[in-house]
Amino acid sequence: MMKILLIEDHFLVRTSQRIVLNELYHQATIAEAVGFDDGMSQIQTSPFDLILLDIDIPGGKGKSMIERIREVQPGVVILICSGADEQLHALEYIASGANGYLSKSAEKAEIITAITTVMKKNRYVSQAVQERLLDAVSTGNPSAKRPKTVTGLSDREKEVMHMLIEGKWIKEIALDLNLRANTISTFKARIFQKMGVSSVIELARKVRD
């Protein structure tokens, strides 16, 4: 019997995931975890065929979560389901070992496509991300390239800016720099103000222009 684990801290999201999964796999056993530590406890005690993983959850540590899961269950299928901008995060999570990346804003048809694709051991990203990857290949300027230095920012602000553009989360940056998450949030707001942007996408574009 197929076993699925939902690692997601929002009840409504877990409920919608469960509805779609029940339609696809009527006999599947579906377990739930509201944080990463709870999810790992279940992974260590029971084998799963599929894990739907949010990347911004209590106890979560960015891409390292994938490595920890695979240390216990190397062959499990991992589908990232996140509200974070897929244009910034999808490819790096795929490169870190996830089987697919699905936006929480996806329509039901795309959710079904993503799940069935990864369960066939194929990779899944949205059409928009595929187009971005093709553009990067054709132009020879992949978006993962490190941005050049920007004047007007302090050394710490530049460091945080580079990490934001690389797709790291506030909590992940805070852990790397041994700072509090609210301190990083303050740095982020200050960087946005100085650079005249309102999103990381705008920041990356401005730095690379």
Q: What are 114-159's pLDDT values in tens digits?
A: 999 999 989 898 887 777 666 655 555 544 444 444 567 888 888 9
**For the chain, how are helix, strand and coil distributed in percent, rounded to 5?**
55, 10, 35
Measured CA to CA, the distance from residue 28 to residue 32 in angstroms comes to 13
Alpha carbon separation from 28 to 20, 23, 196 (Å, rounded): 12, 10, 49
Most confident range (mean pLDDT) of 26-40, 83-97, 115-129, 157-171 is: 26-40
Whether 185 and 95 map to the same domain: the answer is no
User: 184: which residues sit within 8 A by CB, 6+ positions away?
Assistant: 160, 170, 173, 174, 177
Q: Quick one: pLDDT at residue 90?
A: 84
Domain hosting residue 57, numbered range:
3-135
Any domain includes 146 = no
Answer with the residue of higher pLDDT: 3 or 1.
Answer: 3
pLDDT per residue as tens digits for the range 48-62: 999 999 988 999 888
Among 107, 135, 163, the domain boundary falls at 135
Whether 80 and 127 map to the same domain: the answer is yes
Measured CA to CA, the distance from residue 124 to residue 97 in angstroms comes to 12
Any domain includes 35 = yes
Whether 40 and 97 map to the same domain: the answer is yes
Whether 100 and 173 map to the same domain: the answer is no
Whether 127 and 73 map to the same domain: the answer is yes
Answer with the residue of higher pLDDT: 133 or 1.
Answer: 1
pLDDT band at 14 (very low <50, low <70, confident <90, very high): very high
Q: What is the pTM of this model?
A: 0.66
